[in-house]
Structure 1
Amino acid sequence: MEFIKGFTFAPFARKGSYLKKKTYESLDNLKERVGINFIILVPNGLQDTPQSEEICYISNSTVSDEELEDIINYAKDIGLRIAIKPTVNCKNGTWRAYINFFDEDVHCEPKWSKWFASYTDFQIHYATIAQKTGCEMFIAGCEMVMSERRENEWRKLISDIRNVYKGIVSYNTDKYQEHNVKWWDCIDVISSSGYYPISDWEKELNRIEKVVKKYNKPFFFAEAGCMSTKGSSEVPNDWSLEGNIDLNEQAEWYKTMFESSIKREWVSGFAMWDWAGSQYLLSRAKNDKGYDVYGKPAEKIIKKYYDMVVKE
């Protein structure tokens, strides 16, 4: 697998977002400024609560199929490879990792069977688009931690995806969960969210390496990132952290991640979180405390290492 020098681009975009000229300009900026060869697009599926059985992906909260196809075709025209990662979220704000149901069906209670039927419909819809547009990878969801124990359902889902999509199939588990997924053998590429504290990278990579060697699969970080907020390098997954702006701390986190990871031959790339479809003015970069790296020291760090890596 060609080394992934990637970014998640404009995730969870609302309908109409990919029709805007500035979105295409942002994608051009990303390729030019960071030197990427790969993007992940993240269509948004919504359910009301973690115990809701129905997932909606046709509301104004999700880009239309037509605009998704158009931006895929444009990305391919400018030399990028593309993955689609349909990702479900809860309208009430609960993180998707907590979507959960009783392991045994109970009358009058929500059920895994109905949820997986809706989730499968959601995934197959976008797997069909991935096949139609020639996307190089399909990622069957993200950080669905409580559901991952439902091995039979996940195996069936991956099989159903392969019936309509003939490219590389992956799944993006959450940080610290790589060793808990028991069905890695049925996918092509293991991927996870690399939000590890700056002081823990070597330890966590040692743990992940055992999983990669056990299943003998390629691996990449389908998400990785750190806010430019003081203290974020120790809790990079905490998007709610309050603190002062610290652009250098964000840059140091990225430097540590790269220096720890690229010496591991089994790490086949990264897709950083994230690059916005609508960017702030460069003059405002020094005042932004979020995950964005546009115009920040971290952007130069990422480009430096992406330019350096020539793994195939």
Structure 2
Amino acid sequence: MFRGWLLPLVALASFHADLRAAPEETTSRPIRGITLSTHWSGADWAHDTIEPTLDRIASTGANWVTIHPYATIDADGTVVFRPIDPDNPPEHVVRPIREAHARGLKIMIKPHLAYWGSPFAWRGEIQFGDDEPSWQRFFASYQRWIVTLAIVSHDADGFAVGTELGGTLDHEAQWRSIIEAVRDASATPLTYAANWDSYRKVRFWDALDVIGIQGYFPLDDPERRTYDPVSGDPIDRILDEAEIRRGWGRLRAELREYSVELNRPVVFTELGYSRAFSTALRPWESRVDGEEARSMQRLCMRVALETIEAEPTLIGVFLWKWFSEPRALGRDFQLAHPKMIRLLRQVWGESSSSMSRSATGG
């Protein structure tokens, strides 16, 4: 049964008639998601602390969460993961699903390849050139992992078949094979989490339900950048609110056009801003400045959330990131900071009230 991934869909009414939502639903259920990350490779998701953690997340106005189970990758392309018994599924996968649903939250499973200890600088650089045996090992072992995860998380409300694997996107046939195998294993709606700079390289969006994008887009105007004459790197500057709003305006128009062209809605599978003065320029960085930079973090987040809430083709977001109690804060993105929680409640609460008034004619 379709579980609501596309309920916010407004502009793409022709998308898969069997998945269309009633008009009244499209104005009331945007995806307001939070990424529940992990300090211990997912073990904390199986611990009792997940209960107060999800309670706090729900108190922000969130209606979705996502977790990101890990596998590792060897230099020869082999994807290594703990054995998973579908008849006795791991608690760190199924307990978050169970606990989220008990609180009225929906949940997406978004697998991540951990590149630490491998020769790859990050998962976007995973690729094997003309080494065909390594490519074969990679896709065979990756598919086994992904399909097994899809089977044990079949009660989830969304599933990402991959995250930030830009170096593999030229292998379209292999990706379509993975998607088909996941479809055979689970009825859960599917996406792929493309990095912000490679989403147009994905050639298999038609095989998925939703366009997923890791939304770490720079918000400055490229035409206004200045560059260091020696290194050639852009020179940092602090963006003001008007520039940040213009940046999100450009992004909104770009993604709306892409969404309509592909007849698919867009969800930000990740989006976050660190506590740094440069966060509007390079949102993907985990740099942390002093507490005085919190205002820049909050400004970027507010503009992002307001833009997403206002654009029908952007059906929602999963914010990065939150950890399990009692260490919910983390070091950099610090979504669980009281000032960030207050912002989420303000924006998501105001949007909910506005949509309720609109739906009732008030």
Change (3 A) 1:242 1:12: closer
Aligned pair partner of 1:82 in 97, 107, 128: 107
Deviation of the 1:104 alpha carbon? 6.3
Aligned pair partner of 1:36 in 58, 62, 79: 62
The residue type equivalent to 1:194 in the other structure is G
1:124 aligned residue: 147
CA–CA distance in 1 between the matches of 2:176 and 2:265?
Answer: 19
> Scaled by the length of structure 2, what TM-score is found?
0.75
Deviation of the 1:103 alpha carbon? 4.5
CA–CA distance in 2 between the matches of 1:118 and 1:250?
Answer: 39
CA–CA distance in 1 between the matches of 2:251 and 2:42?
Answer: 38
Aligned pair partner of 2:206 in 170, 185, 193: 185
2:31 aligned residue: 4
1:169 aligned residue: 190
CA–CA distance in 2 between the matches of 1:290 and 1:280?
Answer: 13
CA–CA distance in 1 between the matches of 2:251 and 2:117?
Answer: 32
Task: Map 1:90-239; keep pairs closer than 5 Å.
Answer: 90-92=115-117, 94-103=121-130, 105=132, 110-131=133-154, 134-198=155-219, 199=244, 200-239=247-286
Deviation of the 1:261 alpha carbon? 2.7
Q: Structure 1 unaligned segments of length 5 or more: list them.
A: none
CA–CA distance in 2 between the matches of 1:172 and 1:120?
Answer: 16
Q: Is the 8 A contact 1:8 1:40 kept in 2?
A: yes
Q: Deviations over 1:264-312 (max 9, x none)?
A: 210100110111114448xxx7xx7511121332222222222233579
Q: Which range moves more in the overlay, 37-46 or 68-77? A: 68-77
Deviation of the 1:179 alpha carbon? 1.8
2:19 aligned residue: none
Task: Map 1:204-283; keep pairs closer than 5 Å.
Answer: 204-239=251-286, 241=287, 243-245=289-291, 246-280=293-327
> Scaled by the length of structure 1, what TM-score is found?
0.86
The residue type equivalent to 1:25 in the other structure is P
1:54 aligned residue: 78
What secondary structure, in the 3-state scheme, does the structure 2 residue paired with 1:171 have?
strand
Aligned pair partner of 2:337 in 295, 308, 311: 295
Identity score, percent: 20
Deviation of the 1:127 alpha carbon? 0.4
Deviation of the 1:146 alpha carbon? 0.8
Q: Is the 8 A contact 1:229 1:289 kept in 2?
A: no
Larger radius of gyration: 2
CA–CA distance in 1 between the matches of 2:174 and 2:283?
Answer: 31
What secondary structure, in the 3-state scheme, does the structure 2 residue paired with 1:111 have?
helix
Aligned pair partner of 2:97 in 54, 72, 76: 72
Change (3 A) 1:280 1:271: same
The residue type equivalent to 1:68 in the other structure is V
Q: Deviations over 1:176-217 (max 9, x none)?
A: 222221111010011111112343322223222222111111
Q: Deviations over 1:74-116 (max 9, x none)?
A: 11111111111111121227210000012563xxxx5212100
Change (3 A) 1:15 1:182: closer
What secondary structure, in the 3-state scheme, does the structure 2 residue paired with 1:233 have?
coil
Change (3 A) 1:11 1:158: farther
Q: Structure 2 unaligned segments of length 5 or more: list them.
A: 1-5, 8-29, 84-88, 220-243
The residue type equivalent to 1:16 in the other structure is A
CA RMSD of aligned residues (A): 2.2
